[in-house]
Amino acid sequence: MSEKIGFIGLGNMGHPMAKNLEKAGFPLFVYNRSAEKAEDFKAQSKVAVDVKELVKNSDVIFTMLTNDQAANEVYKQILELNISDKLFIDMSTISPETSGKIADAVKIKEASFLDAPVAGSTKPAAEGTLIIMVGGDEKDLERARPYLEKLGKQIKHLGKNGKGLAAKLSVNYFISALYQGLAETILFSDTLGIEREDMLDIINESASGSGATKVKTPLLIEENYQPAFSLDLMLKDILLAKDAGADFPFTKTLIETYKSAQNEGFGKDDVIGIIQYLSKM
């Protein structure tokens, strides 16, 4: 018999991910702090009134939350319950240190914990083609695998608790540099009189193109920075990388640029909206 699945955090990522678990037919209980984001689960799944109701009624619980503070707040409530034998899978991007403390606290209560952050934004989340980077025990991953397979196209086990996040912080460090580089390149080619559509066509068809450049192409052409992954979240990840030891020539520059863009009011825009800040420099 299938285990009962819980999903906490129905934001830009969590909502489509939970929908994929629902579509796969798993018995699903969801919870979101702002109740309206759970509305369209009512037809097929159950919606919990709070974190505790969800956890009491689930065997395997996913969390997809903004940051360390959100994870600490949610797991504080979870740790007040009897959680023995339950499996928690945190897919948020938080610090390996915070995640490690949560993992230890969960394990003391005879439950299991995986950090399983993801690469890929809202489109792969909706398509179930995320890359999932896992830290934790092999047996817990095997228990999680049937559910993770509905969320991602690649499940990479990197070692003990915290290693999934270590890989995630590394990949996002690269992406933050890539987006700043892409934005600067587009501004440069703008000044040389090259149409954005032409420049992005060239980038995307050449060796410099990637899924990341392709996904941001329509935003740059339409100059519409509705967030799939907000600039605020990217700055959070660069700062987490710095705290985890990233100390390279790019590190200082990236922090300065993304922080200044946030201070100028671009934090809620998509990360490629960094171009709006750079264009004013």
Binding site for ligand NAP (CB under 6 A): 9-14, 32-34, 37, 64-67, 70, 73-74, 92-93, 118, 121-122, 228-229, 233
Which is closer to ligand NAP, CB of 62 or CB of 277?
62
DSSP-assigned letter for residue 42: T
Cβ at position 240, least distance to ligand NAP in Å: 9
Q: Which amino acid is at 92?
A: S
Cβ at position 263, least distance to ligand NAP in Å: 19
Report in angstroms the alpha-carbon separations of 107 from 29, 101, 112. Answer: 23, 10, 6
Which is closer to ligand NAP, CB of 26 or CB of 229?
229
Cβ at position 188, least distance to ligand NAP in Å: 26
What percent helix, strand, coil does the chain show, rounded to 5?
55, 15, 30
**What is the CB-side half-sphere exposure of residue 26 using CA atoms within 13 A?**
27
The span from the CA of 55 to the CA of 5, in Å, is 9
Q: Which amino acid is at 6?
A: G
Which is closer to ligand NAP, CB of 112 or CB of 121?
121
List the one residue out of 65, 78, 68, 69 whose CA is nearest residue 33: 65
Which is closer to ligand NAP, CB of 79 or CB of 194?
79
| 168 tagged catalytic | yes
Q: Which of 168, 214, 259, 268 does the annotation list as catalytic?
A: 168
Closest-approach residue to ligand NAP (CB): 11
Report in angstroms the alpha-carbon separations of 202 from 184, 186, 196, 207. Answer: 15, 11, 10, 9
Cβ at position 191, least distance to ligand NAP in Å: 30
Catalytic residues, by residue number, are 168
